[in-house]
Chains A and B, each alone.
Chain A
Amino acid sequence: MTALPLDPKDGGGRFPGFDAQGQSPHWDPVTQGVVLARLGRPTDLRFFTVAEEATARALFDQLLGQRHEPRVPVVNMVDARLAEDQTDGWHYEDMEPDPAAWRNTLAELDAEARERLKRPFAELSWEEQTLLLTDIQAAETWRGRQTSRVWSLWTRYACTAFYSHPLAWDEIGFAGPAYPRGYKNLGLNAREPFEVADARPTQDPAAHTAKSQTGRQR
């Protein structure tokens, strides 16, 4: 598979030629089975309804900046987790367990788009979707819920799926599983023979933001 499309200004191409899945012969067989399965045909959708699927696809594309193929099949990966109830188990007293929370918040997102722009969320332009999500994220509460809890639900599932994929590892310079080989070269600027140096070490995403930022886990 080719690399995921990512504009150099957004961090694309920092690790030229780096190939995490190329290391798979060095992984133990159980780990190979689990990780390489993510590169195979995505599982068919079982959890999301057709309407939810449309909203979820658009939402995940936005949250992860996936505008073109090839994409990490995030919607299939999240669908599989929810279908198998592979959640963390806990839920807030004032929120549903994750599977129901997903159904309901996707419906709310779609309703919000219809109310504001008279079209389903999935039919909005990329810029309209971005604006809508930016508004939602900025508000303390959204449609009777604490926004941070909804936002955290969405981003947690999205990031867990995306950053479990070897193609996503390629763009961040992470070589994935490390058993039974382990690492031999520890320390600042020390690399294994199979690791690739960052080609643009001064591309600091935090350079133009406040020098100290704080968020919280939800």
Chain B
Amino acid sequence: MAPVKDRNASAWLLPPVPGTNHAMRTDMAQFRDEDEVDIVIVGCGAGGSTLLQRLARAGWKAVALDAGPFWDPERDWVSDEAGSHHLYWTEPRVISGDDPVPLGSNNSGRGVGGSMVHYAGYTPRFHPSDFHTYSTDGVGADWPLEYGDLKSYYEDIEGELPVAGEHWPWGDPHSYPHSPHPVSGNGELFLRGALACGITAKVGPVAITNGRFGNRPHCIYRGFCLQGCKVNAKASPLITHIPDALHHGAEVRADSMVTRIEIDDRTGKATGVHYVRHGRSRFQRARIVAVAGYSIETPRLLLNSASQRFPEGLCNDFDQVGRYLMVQGAPQTAGRFESEVRMWKAPPPEVSSEDFYETDPSKPYKRGFSIQTVSPLPITWAEHVAAQGHWGAKLREYMSDYVHWACLGALCEFLPQPDNRVTLASEKDRNSMPVAHFHYSQCDNDRQLMQAAQGAMEKILKGAGAEEVITIRRFAHLVGGARMAADEQHGVVDADCRSFAVPNLYITDGSVLPTQGSANPALTIMAVAARAANRLIAGGPSKAT
């Protein structure tokens, strides 16, 4: 494998102090709407930015539009919880079902860098078993590719972020480019409790620099990863892929909300995208269109792009768009210790265990869960306490005890189900486009996993000496909604992320995942996008048209 700097020089293109290389942005390429670019990418998050960087390096005329701003971390981000509200996608959305999933701050980001701007920073790989759960376990789905098809892309991206952690014994065992970070009180208790219960726990894997990387500094352990890392220590595409893309001639057009993909009804091909920028409606022509707007906005955009040829929504001939949307069950269990833990010090992502990841034949449920440290800041912690029913003086008393609590989170592999889906609501956004309606209900297996995960976390915390434990049931990480499959009757795109219905339309974000494992998804989303980019490059800019 070539050294990272020769494949992706982003970290070397940043200034040597925290901040942004402003000249790169002002000098960036600017394509005109009338230019037929090689590719227009909708969304500049995990998937979109990776694709952009790869194609720009290969010499493609590539432009990525993002609905949100082109962040300037020094100016736009703060080291404060309530002051970070603008990082989230807070456009209107409707939720329903037996277990409706709150969105907003807990689920999706906006602006260049996407949700990774405020993600925690865990970057585990999926296990080989994730790619064929249907054949092996009779649940979920089989991917049209296997772990081996992604392995080299995982390695590439781990080098580019870069990822720090101990040698990883689970799934396909591997090691990481950066050594594990020192742990805080929270991580210490997880390791101690796991040891006491005979559970293996390891430090990592986190996309946070441990030592200097290019011009990116070492993490300063300040704990505000979910508020955007002002230090440039935590990876997000804004600093890991966008600088290199710009350097190779790509354009990033921020503040551009794509409202519709245009299809030529005669040829059946995409011709570009309609978008709104600074209040004006515009149209960017392109030879290829790629959508990477997150698991809610991607299906919404396809459904909003109905045409004569696709009356039920783009790529929706087989009623697959928006379906099989998944969330991970993400209960958080906290334990009370007489020692001071001060869990907010150090990054929330520190230590994980994947001991419960795979199907355990002795259990009544299929698939499993992982356990990780999470370290809520005061507002999120107050939500945890309030969820127990406490308010008034009792809430204040619990909160005054904040220094004594440690907190773990689980990620449960909830199964993909056809009726968990995005449709269009009657409500409209400020561009007069129907907003997304997300309907979600759990199945029995999901509930059993949630219960089992809570039990395991309680055991670990008590093993570490916790006096009491309290749990909040919640969800995290949306993926699916335009999944990849072997054929058009079971999914929207093929293994190369190319849509079955439109030969020059690609989807390269978390929407394409057919299953989710119990791993945090960002690394896999980037690996899938990097693989799609390779396929496109092999085909050449004109092959798809």
A residues with a Cβ closer than 8 A to B are: 6-7, 9-12, 14, 27-28, 30-31, 34-35, 62-65, 86-94, 97, 130, 133, 137, 155-156, 159-164, 168-169, 171-174, 176-191, 195, 197-198, 201-207, 209, 211-218
**B460-483: which residues lie under 8 A (CB-CB) from chain A?**
467-475
Instruction: List the 10 shortest-distance A-B pairs measured between CB atoms, nearest first.
Output: A11-B400, A182-B220, A88-B104, A215-B387, A164-B82, A178-B222, A93-B96, A177-B79, A89-B90, A159-B382
Chain A's closest residue to B78 (CB) is: A31
Contact among A91, A188, A204, A216 with B188 in the assembled complex (CB-CB below 8 Å)? A188
A97 contacts across to B, CB distance below 8 A: 92
B341 within 8 A of A: yes
A92-B96, A186-B185 known; A62-B391 Cβ under 8 A: yes
- B: interface residue count bin: 35 or more
A130 contacts across to B, CB distance below 8 A: 392
Contact among B89, B395, B402 with A65 in the assembled complex (CB-CB below 8 Å)? B395
Contact among A10, A89, A159, A190 with B93 in the assembled complex (CB-CB below 8 Å)? A89
B90 touches A87 (CB 8 A): yes
A34-B83, A179-B231, A180-B220 known; A215-B91 Cβ under 8 A: no
B393 touches A65 (CB 8 A): yes
B92 touches A91 (CB 8 A): yes
A163-B382, A215-B473 known; A6-B388 Cβ under 8 A: no
Give Cα A92–Cα B98 distance, bound, in whole angstroms: 11
Interface string of B117-144 (1 = CB under 8 A from A): 0000000000000000000000000000
Give Cα A89–Cα B395 distance, bound, in whole angstroms: 26
Give Cα A183–Cα B345 distance, bound, in whole angstroms: 7
B471 touches A215 (CB 8 A): yes
* Whole-angstrom distance between the Cβ of B201 and the nearest chain A Cβ: 16
In the assembled complex, 7 residue pairs joining A and B whose CB atoms fall closer than 8 Å, in A order, are A90-B103, A164-B80, A201-B339, A212-B469, A214-B473, A215-B387, A217-B473
Extra inter-chain contacts (17) besides given A31-B79, A163-B381, A211-B468, CB under 8 Å: A10-B394, A35-B83, A89-B89, A93-B100, A172-B399, A174-B402, A177-B80, A179-B222, A180-B230, A188-B340, A201-B340, A207-B467, A211-B467, A212-B468, A214-B454, A215-B384, A217-B474
B383 within 8 A of A: yes
Chain A's closest residue to B387 (CB) is: A215
A174 touches B344 (CB 8 A): yes
B344 touches A176 (CB 8 A): no
A10 touches B397 (CB 8 A): yes
Give Cα A203–Cα B80 distance, bound, in whole angstroms: 28
Contact among A10, A163, A168, A213 with B470 in the assembled complex (CB-CB below 8 Å)? A213
* Whole-angstrom distance between the Cβ of B21 and the nearest chain A Cβ: 19
Interface string of B95-120 (1 = CB under 8 A from A): 11000101111100000000000000
B275 within 8 A of A: no
Give Cα A214–Cα B88 distance, bound, in whole angstroms: 27
B197 contacts across to A, CB distance below 8 A: none
A171 touches B389 (CB 8 A): no
B76 contacts across to A, CB distance below 8 A: 30
**B51-80: which residues lie under 8 A (CB-CB) from chain A?**
74-80
A215 touches B95 (CB 8 A): no
B100 contacts across to A, CB distance below 8 A: 92-93
A180 contacts across to B, CB distance below 8 A: 18, 220, 230-231
A182 contacts across to B, CB distance below 8 A: 220-222, 231
Chain A's closest residue to B341 (CB) is: A188
B196 within 8 A of A: no
B502 within 8 A of A: no
